[in-house]
A and B are shown apart, each in its own frame.
Chain A
Amino acid sequence: MLPQIGLTHYLIIGALLFSLGVFGVVTRRNAIMVLMGVELILNSANINFVAFSRYSALGLDGQAIAVFVIILAASEAAIALAIVLNIYKRFNTVNVDDVSGLKE
Chain B
Amino acid sequence: MSPETLIYCSIAILLLPLFGFVTTIFFGKRLPRGGDWWETGLLFVVLVLSSAVLYGKLSGYPDAAIDFSFPWVDFGNVPVVGPLQIPLGIVLDNLSAIMMVVVAIVSSLVHLFSIGYMHGDVRYTRYFAFLGLFTFSMLVIVLTNNFFTMYVGWELVGLSSYLLIGHWYEKKSASNAAIKAFIVNRIGDIGMFTGIMILYFTFRTFGFSEIFGAIGEGKIPMGSEAWLTAAGILIFCGAVGKSAQFPLHVWLPDAMEGPTPVSALIHAATMVAAGVYLIARTFPMMTADALMVIAYVGAITAFIAATIAIAQNDIKKVLAYSTISQLGYMVLGLGVGAYTAGFFHLVTHAMFKAGLFLGSGSVIQAMHHALHEKGDHHTDPQDIRNMGGLRTKMPITFWAFIVYTLAISGIPFTSGFLSKDEILAGTLAFGDLTGHYFIPVIGFLVAGLTAFYMFRVVILTFMGNHKDAGRFEYVHESPAVMTIPLIAFAVLSFFAFYSFNPFGASSGWFYHAMERPESVVPGPVQAASAGVFEEALHHSHVTAMILSLSVAGLGILVAFATYQWKKINADAVAERLSGVHRFLLGKWYFDELYGAVVVGGTLMMTRVLRWFDNTVVDGIVNGSARWTYGASFGFKLLWKDLQSRGEKNLSAILFLVVGVAISMWSGWYAATEFWSHTDTFLNCTLAILGGIGIGLLAFFMVWVGTGGFDKYVVDGLVNGVAYLSGFLGLVLRKFQTGKVQTYIVFVVLGVMVLFYFFR
How many Å lie between the Cα of A26 and that of B747 in the bound state?
11
Contact pick for A100, options B739, B744, B748, CB 8 Å: B739
Q: Mark A8-33, 1 if CB is under 8 A from B, else 0.
A: 00000000000000100111000000
How many Å lie between the Cα of A27 and that of B748 in the bound state?
14
Decide if B722 is an interface residue (CB 8 Å cutoff).
no
**Once A and B bind, how many residue pairs between them come within 8 Å at the CB atom?**
28
The answer to whether A22 and B748 touch across the interface, beta carbons within 8 angstroms, is yes
How many Å lie between the Cα of A27 and that of B741 in the bound state?
8
The answer to whether A96 and B741 touch across the interface, beta carbons within 8 angstroms, is yes
Decide if A101 is an interface residue (CB 8 Å cutoff).
yes
Decide if B745 is an interface residue (CB 8 Å cutoff).
yes
The answer to whether B745 and A26 touch across the interface, beta carbons within 8 angstroms, is yes
Q: Mark A71-104, 1 if CB is under 8 A from B, else 0.
A: 0000000000000000000000000110111111
| B interface: dominant SS | helix
Decide if A34 is an interface residue (CB 8 Å cutoff).
yes
The answer to whether A97 and B736 touch across the interface, beta carbons within 8 angstroms, is no
A96 partner residues in chain B, CB cutoff 8 A: 739-741
The answer to whether A100 and B741 touch across the interface, beta carbons within 8 angstroms, is no
The answer to whether B738 and A102 touch across the interface, beta carbons within 8 angstroms, is yes
The answer to whether A34 and B741 touch across the interface, beta carbons within 8 angstroms, is yes
A27 partner residues in chain B, CB cutoff 8 A: 741
> Distance (Å) between the CB of B379 and the closest chain A CB?
115
The answer to whether B736 and A104 touch across the interface, beta carbons within 8 angstroms, is yes
How many Å lie between the Cα of A97 and that of B742 in the bound state?
10
The answer to whether B738 and A100 touch across the interface, beta carbons within 8 angstroms, is yes
Decide if B737 is an interface residue (CB 8 Å cutoff).
yes
- Chain B residues 728-759 with CB under 8 Å of chain A are 736-741, 744-745, 748
The answer to whether B739 and A97 touch across the interface, beta carbons within 8 angstroms, is yes
The residue on B at minimum CB distance from A97 is: B739
> Distance (Å) between the CB of A32 and the closest chain B CB?
14
How many Å lie between the Cα of A103 and that of B736 in the bound state?
5
A25 partner residues in chain B, CB cutoff 8 A: 741, 744
> Distance (Å) between the CB of A37 and the closest chain B CB?
10
The answer to whether A26 and B741 touch across the interface, beta carbons within 8 angstroms, is yes
A22 partner residues in chain B, CB cutoff 8 A: 748
The answer to whether B738 and A103 touch across the interface, beta carbons within 8 angstroms, is yes
The residue on B at minimum CB distance from A102 is: B738
Using a CB–CB distance below 8 Å, which chain A residues touch chain B?
A: 22, 25-27, 34, 96-97, 99-104
Query: What are the nearest 8 A-B pairs in CB distance?
Result: A103-B738, A100-B738, A102-B738, A26-B741, A100-B739, A26-B745, A103-B736, A25-B744
List 17 A-B pairs, Cβ < 8 Å. Answer: A25-B741, A25-B744, A26-B741, A26-B744, A27-B741, A34-B740, A96-B740, A97-B739, A99-B738, A99-B740, A100-B737, A100-B738, A102-B738, A103-B737, A103-B739, A104-B736, A104-B738
